[in-house]
Structure 1
């Protein structure tokens, strides 16, 4: 757990320096860390209340929010038997920043969504400023790319499941990496998220209710010339009860040029990637069978041109 409150209270103080060092180490090792002191406590409580009210609606009411241009509602399909398909054991709803789809008419949901989006973007900017400084760039390096950020707020509902005959829980959300810049994940404290560091088995992520899990996407790994990691993760079906989680995918302006940060290029680590715009990078990672902003994980070494799992809808975390 990393308390990020010093980043806002006294950015130049010793406690802030310790916080930045802890995040930097986590980004080098796994690209995952859990934060407290983010200041979003009230926004998270209000948002979860509204999201739960949405998922408690009759199915027909939920489906009044159609899927349009990869925004909107994807239903749970409990009759499916292929648990490698993400949407077989999870339902979800995607909301953008710019009215890409109407927020469902659930009491208190739209104001909670808009408050959370703005507050969470502020937290993301604080974290990204710290990481930019840790990488040797100016603290405002990433903030300058966020004039018109491309952000997606996703509500996920995982129904409780039973272990199979071998005592194993199904994996409703197959292994993948997020392929954008950074993801902020709010959870209800129910376990299920697991990460797979290099040369390691799957490790559960302990994230108490009210905390935020922050993970780096493939774009930030590329920007850092792979000094930072984008690590495969998955969700194991909850056995103790339903699980709700809310990832917020943060991406820069589409025209932003993603080029390896100069301080991340050394004699021992030459530049690994050509420059590319953020919009082109994301577009290249999306096809007809995937959803922003996730990339199916193809085993011990992710294959650069691998096809996604059939029917994989990309629900994450």
Structure 2
């Protein structure tokens, strides 16, 4: 049973120490119509201004979040030969299973095969990951290690996936309210749960190796991303007032970070920002010249693969043309996956 702290008069908390606003989501989950609209508009304004927001009182049980982090660490602590019993396929289109450090190249662009080879040789992103989705996905079936390698791992991932899906639906409803299109406007194209749960581990490394980035700058190509992170830090987002400069997003206990993705930018005709972000090694976290391991769990909210993403009513018209052609969600996702593997 999730309990909520008493919502403040304003759902928004601002801090000079953090690049993004913190919003109390309980006013949407358990509030009256006025409170729900206030929270929805606050999220909308954060996405419009900087593309990111931190949510507290988000409705996910903290003990379940902590249990998922424990299971994630147990998986990444396995010997490499055990983790490789669930290998990510060679091509990016089947985005499931385990990827060893250096296997994936996070990229913002779509390249030809020769470009990809050259970029992968240059990349120093250093992380390992495990991808999963719903159990009955016919396009990207899950790839699990044998049950005896880590008992309960498969069940924990699937259970947490559906827990995140509940928050996904509530956030989609908030966006529908903010756009004044009705609560179910966006949920109507997110019915199939074609989203993705990713477990991420950034191994410890000497801090003086400045050539190693934990994840290069990129945008997410989904509707939005829900991020759970530990207290190590390192997430940075591009400053909308100084392109090319990045601002730190400091971890807030018992919260999630949510950022708008490319599809939300396309739907809103760039009213909402899909902001470039990266993960670096913050010097404040180094101990004896060594960066500690970092663990995070992003949940990528994707619309149904058969969706055609097009600018929604009210975001375009005379004097404000559409910035994007209608886009097949499946084709766009597969092209972006192909740049990574």
Tell me the TM-score range normalised by the shorter chain. Answer: 0.7 to 0.9
Moved over 6 A (4+): none
The one-character-per-residue Cα deviations of 1:83-130 (angstroms, maximum 9, x if unpaired) are 9626x5211111121362243332332232122111111111111111
The residue that corresponds to 2:183 in the other structure is 139
CA distance, structure 2, for counterparts of residue 54 and residue 131 of structure 1: 35
Q: Residues 11 and 118 from structure 1, CA distance in 2 versus in 1: closer, same or farther, beyond 3 angstroms?
A: farther
1:142-180 C-alpha deviation (Å, 9 max, x unpaired):
111122132111111011222328xx5731211101111
Deviates more, 1:47-56 or 1:275-284: 275-284
Alignment counterpart, residue 142 of structure 2, candidates 57, 82, 101: 101
TM-score (norm 1): 0.82
1:157-236 equivalences under 5 Å are 157-164=201-208, 168=210, 170-200=212-242, 201-236=245-280
Q: Find the counterpart in structure 2 of residue 307 from structure 1.
A: none
Partner of 2:48: 28
Give the gaps of 5 or more residues in structure 2. 1-21, 104-119
- Choose which of 68, 82, 89 in structure 1 pairs with 2:126: 89
The alpha carbon displacement at 1:35 in A equals 0.6
Report if the CA contact (8 A) 2:37-2:178 is conserved: no
Indicate which of 120, 132, 139 corresponds to 2:164: 120
Number of equivalenced pairs? 283
The CA distance in 2 between the partners of 1:134 and 1:97, in whole Å, is 29
- CA change 1:176–1:84 in 2 (3 A) is farther
Alignment of 1:276-315 (within 5 A): 276-287=327-338, 289-290=339-340
Aligned equivalent of 1:74: 99
Residue aligned with 1:150, SS: coil
Instruction: Report the Cα offset of residue 11 of structure 1.
Output: 4.8
Q: Distance in 2 between matches of 1:188 and 1:140?
A: 32
Q: 1:7–1:198: structure 2 CA closer, same or farther, 3 Å change rule?
A: same
Distance 1:277 1:113, change over 3 A: same
Label 1:45 to 1:133 Cα distance change in 2 as closer, same or farther (>3 A).
Answer: same
Tell me, yes or no, if the aligned pair for 1:169 and 1:236 is still in contact at 8 Å.
no
Match of 1:52 among 73, 78, 83: 73
Against the structure 1 CA distance between its residues 152 and 13, is the aligned structure 2 distance closer, same or farther, given a 3 Å change threshold? same
Q: State which drifts further: 24-33 or 101-110.
A: 101-110
Deviation at 1:5, TM superposition (A): 1.3
Alignment match, 1:4: 25
Gaps of 5+ in 1: 291-312
Aligned match of 1:251: 302
RMSD, aligned CA: 2.2
TM-score, normalisation: structure 2: 0.77
